[in-house]
Amino acid sequence: MKKNIILAIIFVVQFAQGQVPIDSEQKIWTLEECIFYALENNITVKQAQLSKNRTEANYLATKSSRLPNLSGNASQNFTNGNSIDPITSDFVSQQINSTSMGLNSQVTLFQGNEINNQIKQGKLLIDQYALYEEEAMNNITLSITESYIQLLYAKENILIAENNLKVSQKEEERAKARLDAGSIAIKEYTDAKSQTATNQYVLINAKNDYALQLLNLKQQLELPPDSNFGIADSNEIILNIVPDLNEVYSEALQNLPEINASKINVSLSEKDLDIAKGGYLPTLSLIGSLGTGYTSTQDFNFSDQFDLNFNQRLGLSLNVPIFNRNKTKSEVQSAKINIDIAKLELEQEEKELYKKIETAWLNANTAQSQMVAADVARNAASESFRLAQKQYELGALSTTDFIVSQNTYTNTEQNYIQAKYLNLLYNQLLQFYQGNDIKL
């Protein structure tokens, strides 16, 4: 653990200093590859799978409760004095050396339908835990998607910072030449030099942010911090039509496992009620046994006695509940309350889902509008910056004004890529809610 932390710190520092290039001999992962790998290796997903497997094992045990049990017993006894012979049941006053062996079996014929209801409940639990597994897979899919898109944003942010630094360095060189020629004041040169240092600082932060985002994605993929890892560039991001809110919500109610798991939870509570009501009904069991034995009070030898004393027993046992201190009544009332609780939890789950979908829907619309506006702003700022560069080269623009133009252009570029990747994120989220695959 300590070694991994040290490696992660070294990686972040080296990356921030430019010693670890983004695309140097790296395995490039697409979003689809990241999701597939995470679903196979993520710890949370594996835990959900194990929980489902445990539920299946419990279901097998519940189904087997319909079967008869079978047990064997054997005993060796020595008795002295007045006693009852364990084999012949005669009252004797002597030493007795006895051996007995037997088989016993019992099967429940009727128990207020409790076994049938427990089996049905066990099947519902398997279905529910399968949905929990699917929910865990969905959660890691969304988490990987969000981290991947954040990484794409951080990667593009580095390119903007690098371009700004190149421009600043070029203009600093030009300002130095002008200062040496005596055509500008020293303040003009120091402003240009300060802007270069500022842009270099911004680039270091951008690389550091990329390294941290990359480390976060590696941890979600259960990859070691020192693994050689990179991401593929996304395709051109276009403005998609945002789907209808109610349509997305309706499809999500049908598709999302957490909603279906909550519905099953209501059915499980109803089965608990059926099981509790079974406590009012009698229990009928079939009982059978085989036995034999040897006693020293008889004159026959050991093998003959085992044959002569062989006995079989078959019977029915009926247990009728009369009064159990209101235990069954209390269990029935609790089961009814749990049904109401499960229904409220389902309603709350649906409300939370609608809130998530409406938030994503609003953000998707906002991001699209912001992307359009930011595109217009960056194009205008790009043209203004191009003209400012020409003016600065001709000496018709001060360093301060040139820096203002450059910063304005940088801000519009950053606003655009932020809106672009937010648009991508929320549209992918809406696609997910509709049951469609996530892909870039």
Does 190 share its domain with 286? no
CATH number at residue 298: 2.20.200.10
Does 169 share its domain with 252? yes
**C-alpha–C-alpha distance, residues 330 and 276, integer Å:** 9
Does 186 share its domain with 259? yes
**C-alpha–C-alpha distance, residues 234 and 425, integer Å:** 12
Does 198 share its domain with 226? yes
Residue 119 lies in a domain: no
> Strand 27-29 and strand 229-231: pairing?
parallel
Position 288 scores a pLDDT of 96
Residue 117 lies in a domain: no
Does 261 share its domain with 306? no
- Taking only the tens place, the pLDDT of each residue in 88-97 is 888 888 888 9
Does 154 share its domain with 263? yes
Classify the phi-psi angles of 113: left when phi > 0, otherwise alpha if psi is within -120 to 50, otherwise beta: left
Does 254 share its domain with 364? yes
Does 394 share its domain with 427? yes
- Taking only the tens place, the pLDDT of each residue in 394-436 is 888 888 898 999 999 999 999 999 999 999 999 999 999 999 8
Q: How many domains does the chain have?
A: 2
- Taking only the tens place, the pLDDT of each residue in 183-237 is 888 998 999 999 999 999 999 999 999 999 999 999 898 888 778 888 888 777 7
Does 412 share its domain with 288? no
Does 192 share its domain with 260? yes
Residue 55 lies in a domain: no
- Taking only the tens place, the pLDDT of each residue in 52-70 is 999 999 999 999 999 999 9
Burial group, residue 265, by CB count within 10 angstroms (0-12, 13-18, 19+): buried
Residue 120 lies in a domain: no
Q: pTM of this prediction? A: 0.82
Position 15 scores a pLDDT of 42
Cα 348 vs. chain centroid, distance in angstroms?
20
Does 264 share its domain with 193? yes
Does 191 share its domain with 268? yes
Position 25 scores a pLDDT of 60
Task: Look over the chain and give the mean of its residue pLDDT values, rounded to a whole number.
Answer: 89
Residue 5 has pLDDT above 50, yes or no: no
The percent of residues in the chain predicted with pLDDT above 70, rounded, is 93
Domain with 107 in it: 68-111+282-320
Provide the 10 A C-beta neighbour count for residue 131.
21
Residue 22 has pLDDT above 60, yes or no: no
Residue whose token pair is 């051109």: 236
